[in-house]
Chain A
């Protein structure tokens, strides 16, 4: 599905150059569930941003579906991103002024899909994550777990083949965390590629492979038996 080759990301301020990712080589196949772990500041989020095409590498190659997107412009990346990649954030990032259904529909709004089909797909995905009864509610009226379910629904409603989750359970209690992890696992079983950054070893266990980062390097990769 994607392959990072000698990927480096450096941030330059006036005097200091900080290397966030240093010669990273990672390959992720279609249908994989990969967890990325590591202490704060190790480059997890940078890696996720680059994989999610929200950011571009300083050097190296990023092959997405065999296409080297490393030198692509923001607009080109945007087109690929909206077709293939869904995002889930630790802080949910729902729009406060929109209802649950509208928040989910937002992901289809920029895809030239007729309104009737959008409604249908939103309804389907809300059923799937179990928040259909909350469709008209505003995000502020939902619990954290419910909000994250909306976010998951939003991430997959466009039939994205890959979901990038940045600490999706970070703001949730254990029970809700488990619930969301279960949901991700189910999606993975249905064929969605999932890349997840997490601090929680137990949640990392849901993944079939864990990549450990330290100071911008991949230190270990471990496969779950």
Chain B
């Protein structure tokens, strides 16, 4: 019987080719979009889940009470101290830090990111060891562990085990183990591992473990089962205040960041690199809301496609009343007819599912590359995912077969055979309701798309407050280069190819680091100037194209501008300072000119010495976006000093190649031991936003597809209505209606549903998008335009599809439609 039903179902599907194709394609595209998005969402939400007991693993963060900034790093020696003091709470701690070093292999020099880890790192983060063992590979301080791809990169075509590389030209390391590559859904990007005990040597920093306030490492802690993270945070803070240094009190907070949250916190300072420098894969942190939006789009697309499918099945079924009547006359029971409808729609849903699997197989890699996430369709074939997919499909099939099964099967055979259209209970209303809903979603998605697009454009084209064009950033990543900076500066500055040269501790697109809180003599504690500090050289603002809004830039022409480095011997220093607009506003200097000439100071004690920096504000600079345009510009202060980490060179337009050659030569001449590391600021900036931009372009594509599916359904519905109203069209034509009259009549009937859909969609979309936009510090004001555009597009699409179908219907000679029965 079942086979018989399936056979009949297939025949009926073939017989109603147009409907079947429209129906299957609509559902298949909907399912594909949904599956692709779910692949992406589950990849993103599955980050770091593979770590054993991941729900008990946290990363230690600290927060500065002064600036409110929260850091992904934690104080160098503290996690082992905390672990020793709380053996019942802490199961394990391990640390890592990444550092770009110069590597020599034979005669070849290359920069590589080296990861310094505690010996037990591989116990907390289990990598599969291809050769070597997790417990012994790093026992010897001169051992190194490589990922497979790192081994292939450093020692191409050779077996890396036993091979030697040299760090910074002086420290030899021997490869003792090869491990599997990083997973794409792990936040780890390390490829070359060395024992952390080597840090004091490599960084030439013997006091590294003594400095309680240095946060150069990432600390992971695995709590014992049933230990509450919040309780341990308090315990840990109390312990360090009471037993390590009372200075922590009132200055910091300690947080345990769940491992699963690392991928979703975009606002941490000192965040670990998300770029695997060897594979080139970037795993940018995402806003949870962005991932949710994608999930939501997936759901909506599935809903649209499902409604579409149900709609078409209902529409179709009332054309088959006569067939049902004949079956019943011939002895079919009601449940026979009902199951036939259900089987038929389920068979169609399954065909759609198979089609969608083919589509997903084809597009998953492309889609993944657009989003910067390696995706493959393999994931679908896991039990969980596959089962979900099959259940969804069956549900859609059964649901859409249910209506005809329940109502059409109940029709009286005598009435059914007499023919004519069947108007099931409320079937017209139900259809209209589904069309309205379907189009509401499509219109909502389209208007959301417009808003997302406008916002992204706005954010990306917003004045940055600096000018990245033709600026080359050269990293002063070693002592030799830092010492040679002044000489290189002078040499480059004299070149006709170069406009300006300067340097700083931080430039835009880099992470901000140190902060300070300034006070003012004669003002109470109400006076608030809390900034992140940047050390700049003469010409920094000019070179980066940052404009002064009041006063003047820092300059060596004014002897008092330069702030010397403070030290125990020289605890009290003075100098000039430039703040940005946000900092000025924070104090309450609404006119930036008020800030000029103000004297402020920062005082703190450290190791029994009281330090004090006195600064005179000489200028206020325009706000610049150092980090994402999503966040507010930070409050910044700039001082003239010598802590340079990067040299910036503004090249004259059209002289890029000459300038690069010159810069490379100058470097070669003064920093012979190290290859140059330079980038174009413009490219750094672009890569900063590339992913964000791409993700939302993708979103736009999907919303478009959803709208298209909605229109496919509308065409089907128009066909159905045209078929049903053939007789009416004939009568109207006989009575003198022109083809145009008929087209207008039919199109209007569906188009008015689309108008209702607009009324439903706009307020909902408005509310939701307002919520999304509130996540941006710089946001567009919402206008009606995207809604009007989306509504108009939907209306015309609907009008065009229905009138295309109505046109063919209206052209039929009425003698065919009015043949006496």
Contact = CB atoms under 8 A, between A and B. Distances in A.
Same assembly: yes
B820 A89 contact: yes
B242 to A, nearest CB: 84
Interface string B417-449: 000010000000000000000000000000000
Contacts of B777: none
A159 to B, nearest CB: 13
B730 A110 contact: no
Interface residues of A, number: 28
Contacts of B421: 96
B278 to A, nearest CB: 70
Interface stretch (A26-34, A63-71, A75-83, A183-191): A75-83
Contacts of B354: none
B820 A87 contact: no
Contacts of A81: 734, 736
Given A91-B820, A166-B820, A106 B814 contact: no
A170 interface: yes
A164 to B, nearest CB: 10
A52 B735 CA distance: 11
B818 interface: yes
Given A49-B815, A166-B820, A93 B730 contact: yes
Interface in A42-83: 45, 49, 52, 54-55, 75, 78, 81-82
B736 A75 contact: no
Contacts of B818: 89, 91, 93
A95 interface: yes
A190 to B, nearest CB: 21
A55 B813 contact: yes
Interface string B810-821: 000111001011
Main secondary structure of the interface of A (DSSP, over half): loop
A22 interface: no
Interface in A161-193: 166-167, 170
A110 B820 contact: no
A155 B731 CA distance: 11
A111 B738 CA distance: 11
A107 interface: yes
Interface in B783-820: 813-815, 818, 820
A110 B745 CA distance: 13
A196 to B, nearest CB: 14
A73 to B, nearest CB: 12
A110 B738 CA distance: 8
Contacts of B815: 45, 49, 54-55
A170 B820 contact: yes
A82 B814 contact: no
A106 B731 contact: yes
A95 B820 contact: no
A90 B820 contact: yes
Contacts of A52: 734
A209 interface: no
A78 to B, nearest CB: 7
B813 A110 contact: no
B101 interface: no
B140 interface: no
Interface residues of B, number: 19
B820 A106 contact: no
B655 interface: no
Contact of B736 (A97, A107, A170): A107
A109 B728 CA distance: 14
B736 A95 contact: no
Contact of B738 (A78, A90, A94, A170): A78
B731 A54 contact: no
Contacts of A167: 820
Interface string A138-176: 000000000000000010001000000011001000000
A109 B421 CA distance: 25
B110 interface: no
A166 B821 CA distance: 12
A91 B821 contact: yes
Contacts of B736: 78, 81-82, 107, 110-111, 158
Contacts of A75: 738
B726 to A, nearest CB: 11
B820 A107 contact: no
B90 to A, nearest CB: 76
Nearest to B735: A107
B483 interface: no
Interface in A85-114: 87, 89-91, 93-97, 106-107, 109-111
Contact of B734 (A54, A91, A109): A54
Query: Quick one: which of B736, B737, B821 has the most chain A CB within 10 A?
Result: B736
B810 to A, nearest CB: 11
Interface in B728-780: 728, 730-738, 741
B820 A54 contact: no
Contact of A95 (B728, B738, B814): B728
A97 B428 CA distance: 12
Given A49-B815, A91-B820, A154 B735 contact: yes
A93 B732 contact: no
A150 to B, nearest CB: 12
Nearest to A83: B736
Interface in B51-107: none
Interface in B406-423: 421
A93 B738 contact: no
Given A93-B727, A95-B728, A107-B736, A54 B821 contact: no
Contacts of A93: 727, 730-731, 818
A107 B731 CA distance: 9
Contacts of A166: 820
Interface in B694-749: 727-728, 730-738, 741
A97 B421 CA distance: 12
B731 A95 contact: yes
Interface string A182-219: 00000000000000000000000000000000000000
Given A54-B813, A110-B741, A82 B820 contact: no
Contact of A106 (B727, B730, B732, B813): B732
Contacts of B734: 52, 54, 81, 87
A159 B815 CA distance: 23
Contacts of A94: 731
A166 B815 CA distance: 12
Nearest to A54: B815
Nearest to B741: A110
Nearest to A50: B815
A97 B420 CA distance: 13
B728 A110 contact: no
Contacts of B735: 82, 106-107, 109-110, 154
A158 B737 CA distance: 14
A75 B737 CA distance: 10
A159 B33 CA distance: 59
A49 B821 CA distance: 16
A95 B731 CA distance: 8
Contacts of A82: 735-736
A55 B734 CA distance: 11
Interface string B362-397: 000000000000000000000000000000000000
Interface of A: 45, 49, 52, 54-55, 75, 78, 81-82, 87, 89-91, 93-97, 106-107, 109-111, 154, 158, 166-167, 170
- Closest CB pairs A-B (n = 7): A82-B736, A110-B736, A90-B820, A107-B735, A54-B815, A95-B728, A49-B815
27 contacts: A49-B815, A52-B734, A54-B734, A54-B814, A54-B815, A55-B813, A55-B815, A75-B738, A82-B735, A82-B736, A87-B734, A89-B818, A89-B820, A94-B731, A95-B731, A96-B421, A106-B732, A107-B735, A107-B736, A109-B735, A110-B735, A110-B736, A110-B737, A111-B736, A154-B735, A158-B736, A166-B820
Given A49-B815, A95-B727, A106-B731, 15 more contacts: A52-B734, A54-B734, A54-B814, A54-B815, A55-B813, A55-B815, A75-B738, A81-B734, A82-B735, A106-B732, A107-B735, A110-B732, A110-B737, A110-B738, A170-B820
